[in-house]
């Protein structure tokens, strides 16, 4: 019998199949259902999630533990989430949730129970070479979650199993049906980590005050009023409340920038406006899950959002910041999101985007190398 593995059992089909595959491989398996967000509103699925996890544990005949990490989540994830919005950035709490909750609080909890490793239903792979772990893309590129895992501590990665790394989603559903898992048809969650699927602006407004300001064109024409810059992100089309105008063409409006000094939201009707198209970025909060940065400057592949096909970029590191220059302009690169760096299938690490240089700010000829320096 192999070592004890404790699986993070969310109530979803991915973690359930992960537990089943580990049992089939001869591991001693127990499960933990984490409560990381406590709410009694209609959008919180905590009760349903726990019931689904309990049903899976009974079906598989494994012990189900329960732990409440909500205070840790609020301190290390949700507080940063609100701080980022207050600063006018667009955060990604799933990345900090993985670092501080799933691969820290959960891992420590499991180790105290005597587990040799933990496992989750993430779509990713770990390759151990020379005794060191490498975070690798999943076989199912459409479901690959290495973007969300790049900030996990390397030591935690070495103590983690990803049973779904070599499977595609349809195979996972097929396994769940074949072995009769009670949640085999349960839909995937698409909401923010542990907050759920809800009207996001209404949720955010319960924590952040409205700070209204003008909605303007880039020439200064006022089109309306917004509720607060933190409720909008670059490239956003819906929810602007502008509607059709006699003095404009019949086309959607898009957020192209934010003027923090005047609290102005700048919009245009061009979905690829030069202000929306980025040529380079800077990022802080650098974490190299590969153990060390590559020798720079060097060409890498990057993602600026989950499920994006990695695109080529030039990487440099100066003044403790990542500098990335795109070989082709990227649309709607929002400060607060993360730039994640790859070499082939290996995730090297990444950082939080803090500054972006748009096409409008730098217009070299197509053959000219874009200078990395920011003003």
Active-site residue list: 97, 193
From the list 42, 48, 44, the residue with the least C-alpha distance to 11 is: 48
Beta-sheet pairing, 321-331 with 311-318: antiparallel
From the list 14, 58, 6, the residue with the least C-alpha distance to 33 is: 6
Count Cβ atoms below 10 Å from residue 170 Cβ, excluding itself.
9
From the list 301, 291, 296, 362, the residue with the least C-alpha distance to 326 is: 301
Alpha helices in the chain (DSSP H): 13-24, 46-60, 70-73, 79-86, 93-97, 106-112, 146-149, 154-157, 169-178, 200-205
Contact 331, 350 (CB under 8 A): no
| 163 φ, ψ (degrees, to nearest 5) | -60, -20
Contact 242, 215 (CB under 8 A): yes
Count Cβ atoms below 10 Å from residue 126 Cβ, excluding itself.
16
């Amino acid at each position: 019998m192999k070592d004890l593995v404790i699986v993070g059992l969310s109530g979803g089909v991915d973690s359930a199949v992960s537990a089943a595959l580990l049992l089939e491989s001869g591991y001693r398996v127990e499960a933990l259902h984490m409560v990381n967000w406590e709410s009694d509103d209609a959008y919180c699925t905590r009760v349903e999630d726990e019931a689904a996890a309990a049903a899976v544990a009974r079906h598989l005949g494994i012990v189900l533990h329960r732990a409440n990490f909500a205070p840790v989540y609020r301190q290390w994830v949700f507080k940063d989430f609100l701080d980022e919005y207050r600063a006018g950035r667009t955060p990604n709490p799933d990345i900090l949730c993985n670092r501080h909750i799933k691969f820290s609080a959960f891992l420590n909890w499991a180790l105290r129970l005597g587990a040799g490793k933990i496992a989750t239903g993430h779509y990713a792979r770990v390759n151990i070479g020379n005794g060191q772990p490498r975070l690798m893309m999943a076989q199912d590129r459409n479901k690959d979650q290495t973007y969300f895992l790049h900030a996990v501590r390397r030591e935690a990665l070495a103590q983690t199993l990803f049973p779904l790394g070599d499977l595609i989603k349809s195979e996972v559903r097929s396994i769940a049906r074949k072995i009769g898992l009670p949640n085999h048809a349960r839909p995937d969650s698409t909401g923010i980590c542990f907050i759920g699927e809800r009207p996001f602006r209404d949720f955010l407004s319960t924590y952040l005050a409205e700070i209204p300001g003008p909605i303007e064109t880039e020439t200064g024409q006022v089109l309306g009023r917004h509720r607060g810059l933190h409720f909008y992100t670059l490239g956003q089309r819906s929810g602007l409340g502008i509607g059709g105008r006699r003095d404009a063409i019949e086309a959607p409006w898009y957020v192209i920038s934010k003027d923090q000094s005047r609290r102005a939201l700048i919009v245009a009707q061009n979905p690829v406006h030069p202000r929306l198209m980025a040529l380079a970025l800077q990022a802080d909060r650098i974490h190299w899950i590969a153990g060390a940065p590559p020798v720079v400057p060097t060409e890498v592949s990057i993602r600026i959002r989950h499920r994006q096909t990695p695109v080529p970029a030039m990487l440099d590191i100066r003044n403790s910041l990542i500098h990335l220059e795109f070989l082709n302009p990227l649309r709607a690169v929002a400060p607060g999101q993360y730039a994640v760096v790859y070499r082939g299938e290996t995730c090297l690490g990444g950082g939080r985007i803090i500054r972006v240089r748009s096409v409008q700010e730098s217009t070299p000829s197509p053959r000219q190398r874009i200078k990395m320096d920011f003003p």
